[in-house]
Every structure is written in structure tokens, then in C-alpha cells.
Amino acid sequence: MSVACELKLKRAELTNRLEELAKLQAEVREQVSSIDKVIAIYEPGCGPMPTKARRPGRTTKISDEVKASMGGVNQRQVVLEILRDSADPVSTSECAAKFSHAIGLGGEAEIVDQV
């Protein structure tokens, strides 16, 4: 059996498993809903329990720090100027180095140059 056929079989197995999990998830949600209805019968003031999943979040947002260090610079405009001014194609690292110099990051720009 070829590798492609084996991969197709594995994909079919995983797809079937996903469908089974979706059915199981729907059944569990239905059970939770039924339990909430029964709880409401015994305690009318009690509403359904929230089922939100908590997303882990950062205490400090890096994007806020970056925005503060940029000082309101129009990033798109700076990148477009870099691309217009360069005679040859520019790699991503070269563009990042020129960008950091253009917005005046100072010593941090040297670190970008090394990358």
C-alpha cells in the first residue's frame, strides 16, 4: 500500500473520530441543559451555570509596550518608504533593521542588525 493511501486511511479515521467527538459534545451539552432545567425547578431563582471556557491571558500586553515605544509612527508608511528607497530587493531582516533605525530605536536597532 502506498504512503498516500495510508495517509488517506488515517485521515478518514481521524475525520470519523472528529464526528464522534462532535456528537459526544452535543450529547453532553444536551445533558447539561437538562440538568440546568431540573435545577431551575428546585431553585427557581438559580439560572443556568455559565459554560464559558477561560482563556489564559497575559498580565501585561506586549503589543501595548510596542505601541508605546513606537510613539505613534505610521508603520505602513515607514515600510513603504524603506521599500521605495532600496534599489535592490530587501530581505525581511534588512527591512527590520532599516525600520528600527527609521523609527529611532537606537541601541535596540543594533540587535536587529545582528539577526
The Cα–Cα gap between 38 and 33 comes to 9
The Cα–Cα gap between 65 and 69 comes to 6
Residue extents of the structural domains in the chain = 1-51, 70-114
The Cα–Cα gap between 49 and 81 comes to 54
The Cα–Cα gap between 83 and 87 comes to 8
Question: What was the pLDDT predicted at 26?
Answer: 96
- More confident of the two residues 76 and 27: 27
Does the structure show a pLDDT above 70 at 7?
yes
- Per residue in 17-54, pLDDT tens? 999 999 999 999 999 999 988 998 888 877 666 666 66
pTM, to two decimals? 0.39
Place of cell 545582528: 114
> Is 109:97 a contact under the CB 8 Å cutoff?
yes
